[in-house]
Amino acid sequence: MQQFKGKGIGKGVAIGRIFFYDKGEEAVRRETIDSVDAEIERYEAAKAKATEQLQKLYDKALVEVGEENAAIFEVHQMMLEDEDYNDSISNIIKTEKVCAEYAVATTGDNFAEMFANMDDEYFKARSADVKDISERVVRVLSGRETTSDLEEPVILVAEDLAPSETVQFDKSKLLAFVTRLGSANSHTAILARMMSLPAIIGIDIDKSWNGKQAIVDGYKGTITIDPDDDYMKEMLLIRHRDEEHRKLLQQLKGKPSVTKSGRKIKLYANIGGVKDTGAALDNDAEGVGLFRSEFLYLESEDFPTEDTQFQAYKSVVQNMAGKQVVIRTLDLGADKQVGYFDLGDEDNPAMGYRAIRICLDRPEIFKTQLRAIYRASAYGKVAIMFPMIISLDEVLQCKKYVEEVKQELKAENIPYSEDVELGIMIETPAAAVISEYLAKEVDFFSIGTNDLTQYTLAIDRQNAKLESINDSHHPAVLELIRMTIENGHKGGAWVGICGELAADTSLTAKFIEYGVDELSVSPAFILPVRAEIVNTE
Ligand code: PEP
Ligand code: MG
């Protein structure tokens, strides 16, 4: 038995096998082979498996993101059957007597280049797809699976994980996350908590762990490889205790989130998409306080259309059945990158071209999203909030686009609600400092403590090296929160907190003392926070 210690960023205990997630960035080697026939057979078998995976992805996407977005996996299956593509692979194997991995990778590169040089926009766009299918077949050939191929749930161990990778994982196949890099407020950590999974960062991971039995202790931040019987018994007990505690918390379902002195706090859920509404409702969320709409973009291969977005927002709003749903407009950039946006490299992306800055710079994208949200507002209680605000001018610009969109919908006779509350995220010190003026322009504030901590302490939330001083409890952060709540109220806005700090039960009483109106947390934290609220004076 071997134990390694890092930092726990998602609580709980997980017991299972390790799946070492390799991004597949290793170069494909050109190895010579003895039997051409056997190699072609290997390729055919890998192609069949890749087709099977694509079919499964299609079925899953159809349910989760609709037919339009799922169609890409059908296109990929067709491309795998293309005669020229297959001829090229078998020719390379036959003439050069090389392994299938090399033949597929070379064909993929050649075809991608050919497509990229075409004038027709449709074929140009297929360049990335042909690379994608080739990488999939190479992964199958070299045994580097992805989680969707796994039979049983696993402990996922990786060097680092980007949000765009994390959202691809099949959640039903995951028990825990363990990485070397990452930080407590990174979006990957947030996703782990959204999935209620134990997670640890800062572990000196080792590829040889792949397939081994292990225990992740998210409380102590340890991973234990090949645990002995005594340790296993001890951890099974803790897991059992957690289950009992969860059952106890169930008694708070249906109870109001009211303090002993009678103050009602709105206890909302943070979600990343339609699929999280089940967990939000199961955990008795009183609304959605933060719908991170950018996950819709991260999960797409191309810009999601107005209709695709409308369907997603409408489903969330309908699932929440009259409870308020606060949709945050697109917050891409920094660690949340999508290829088709082509945001470009930046020296300092955390302080760069992101969130509302992109939206105000590219109004066609912004207005498409606003139209989709307003259309969904006809089906329930919708609110909109804008991320990364630093100035009054930005708020006024956002409101101008909102007005334009409403006028357009009216002219087109498309129904929408006039009761959509407009709010902003307070996640920059600039916004907190001028919050008294901002409050007069909006219905509500939602304090994003993850970014507020990052910008107040000048610590990149992605930087694992600074994790020990990345302290959201820093007095400067707490003072900005207190001040924002006070100023929000002065200007007539209600004030919530939707960053990770909202789920920190050691601060619940303090936030209530500051006068917070709403707390929005990952679904798994709703009942623990309610337990704290009902015990507060
Ligand atoms: C925040 O910054 O606290 C927040 C809620 O937004 P995100 O974590 O998505 O940046
Ligand atoms: Mg933020």
Identify the band that residue 164 occupies on the pLDDT scale cut at 50, 70 and 90. low
pLDDT in tens, 207-242: 899 899 999 999 999 999 999 999 999 999 999 999
CA of 153 to the centre of ligand 1 (A): 29
Q: Give the residue, 216 or 463, on which the prediction is more confident.
A: 216
The angle at the Cα of 185, spanning 180 to 186, to the nearest 5 degrees, equals 55
Q: What is the pLDDT of residue 173?
A: 87
Which pLDDT band holds residue 25 (cuts at 50, 70, 90)?
low
Report the separation in Å between the CA atom of 448 and the middle of ligand 1, taken as the mean of its atom positions.
5
Matching CATH number, 36-142, of 1.10.274.10, 3.40.50.720, 1.20.140.10, 3.40.50.920: 1.10.274.10
Q: What is the pTM of this model?
A: 0.75
Segment (H or E) for 59? helix 36-65
Give 433's pLDDT tier (boundaries 50, 70, 90).
Answer: very high
Number of the ligand 1 atom closest to the C-alpha atom of 190: 8
Instruction: Give the C-alpha separation, 320 to 289, whole Å.
Output: 12
The residues facing 13 across adjacent strands are 217
User: Does the Cβ of 272 fall within 6 Å of ligand 1?
Assistant: no
Q: In this model, does residue 143 exceed pLDDT 80? A: no
Write out the two tokens for 384: 């909109």
- Check if 498 is active-site: yes
**Cβ(517) to ligand 1 under 6 A?**
no
pLDDT above 90: residue 339: no
Average pLDDT over residues 157-173: 78
Cα 427 to ligand 2 centre (Å)? 6
Tell me the average pLDDT across 383-389: 98
Pocket mutation for ligand 1, best pick of 425, 460, 501, 519 (most atoms within 8 Å of C-beta): 425
Split at pLDDT 50, 70, 90, the class of 345 is confident
List the catalytic residue out of 76, 99, 187, 359.
Answer: 187
Provide CATH code, domain 258-534. 3.20.20.60
Closest atom of ligand 1 to CA, residue 501: 3
Closest listed residue to residue 366, CA positions, set 399, 415, 317, 413: 399
Confidence (pLDDT) at 64: 66
Ligand with the closest atom to the CA of 501: 1
Which ligand 1 atom is at minimum distance from the Cα of 498? 5
pLDDT above 90 (res 43): yes
* All structural domains of the chain with their residue ranges: 2-22+148-235, 36-142, 258-534
Strand partners, 98: 32
Interval 482-500: pLDDT, tens: 999 999 999 999 999 999 9
Q: Could you check whether 36-142 and 258-534 share the same CATH topology?
A: no
Check if 499 has its Cβ closer than 6 Å to any atom of ligand 1.
Answer: yes
Averaged pLDDT of the chain: 92
Answer for the pair 258, 264: CB distance below 8 angstroms, yes or no: yes
Q: What pLDDT was estimated at residue 63?
A: 76
Among 3-12, 80-89, 165-174, 463-472, the range scoring the smallest mean pLDDT is 165-174
pLDDT bracket for residue 18 (50, 70, 90): very high
pLDDT value of residue 369: 98
187 is catalytic: yes
Q: Residue 404 Cα, ligand 2 centroid: separation in angstroms?
A: 26
Q: How far is it, in rounded angstroms, from Cα 24 to Cα 120?
A: 31
Average pLDDT over residues 306-333: 96
2-22+148-235 CATH fold:
Glucose Oxidase; domain 1 (3.50.30)
pLDDT tens by residue, 264-290? 999 999 999 998 999 999 999 999 999
Pocket lining: 427 vs ligand 1, CB cutoff 6 Å: yes
Measured between alpha carbons, how far is 66 from 83 in angstroms, rounded to an integer? 29
pLDDT of 354 > 60? The answer is yes
Ligand nearest to the CA of 326: 1
pLDDT value of position 249: 92
pLDDT, average across residues 449-464: 94
Mean pLDDT of 90-103: 95
Pocket probe mutation, ligand 1, options 481, 498, 511, 525, max atoms within 8 Å of Cβ: 498
Percent with pLDDT over 90 in the chain: 74
Confidence of residue 532 (pLDDT cuts 50, 70, 90): very high
